[in-house]
Amino acid sequence: MISRQYALTFLAILSACGGGAAGSTTGPSAGPPPMTATVNATPDIAFNPSPVQIVSGGTITFAFGSVAHNVYFDAVSGAPADIPGNNAGTSVSRTFASPGTYGYSCHIHPGMRGSIVVGATTTGDTPMGGGY
Ligand SMILES: [Cu+2]
């Protein structure tokens, strides 16, 4: 597994930044996006927040409230499995293994859309050439 490498990388980045509150979502956009994030599917017929950023290999948890929603990802390479049906009062997680932008929509409510931006696992670490 690569979790050990992840941990070391994160430690290095955190100490390089210094002083910043780990996991803060209100600070300037320095450092990598988080490993996990929660998207609320709200009774207001919206996904919030959107877009939301995580690192490659990170997990999004969709938190469904009192009004039923579902999540169908746009047909792009690397998109995870859809969350079909009527989901209310539950949470469902999906993992994003590849960098990219993943749009999705609720098929119950036309126009209810969101997007997830999956960044590279590390920023500027060991450039291998032919990168982005
Ligand atoms: Cu919906």
Residue 6: its pLDDT value, please? 47
Between the CA of 132 and the centroid of ligand 1 the distance, in Å, is 34
Domain that holds residue 92: 34-119
Between the CA of 10 and the centroid of ligand 1 the distance, in Å, is 35
DSSP strands (E only) in 43-125: 46-48, 52-55, 58-64, 69-73, 83-87, 90-96, 100-105, 113-119
Tell me what the pLDDT averaged over the chain comes to.
Answer: 81
Read off the pLDDT of residues 10-31 as tens digits, 9 standing for 90 and up.
Answer: 444 444 444 444 444 454 556 8
- Does residue 112 register a pLDDT over 50? yes
Residue 69 forms beta bridges with which residues?
Answer: 87
Between the CA of 110 and the centroid of ligand 1 the distance, in Å, is 8
Between the CA of 103 and the centroid of ligand 1 the distance, in Å, is 14
In a domain, 26, yes or no: no
pTM (2 d.p.)? 0.70
In a domain, 58, yes or no: yes
User: Into how many domains does the chain fold?
Assistant: 1
What CATH number did the domain enclosing 64 receive?
A: 2.60.40.420
Contact 38, 54 (CB under 8 A): no
In a domain, 102, yes or no: yes
Between the CA of 89 and the centroid of ligand 1 the distance, in Å, is 13
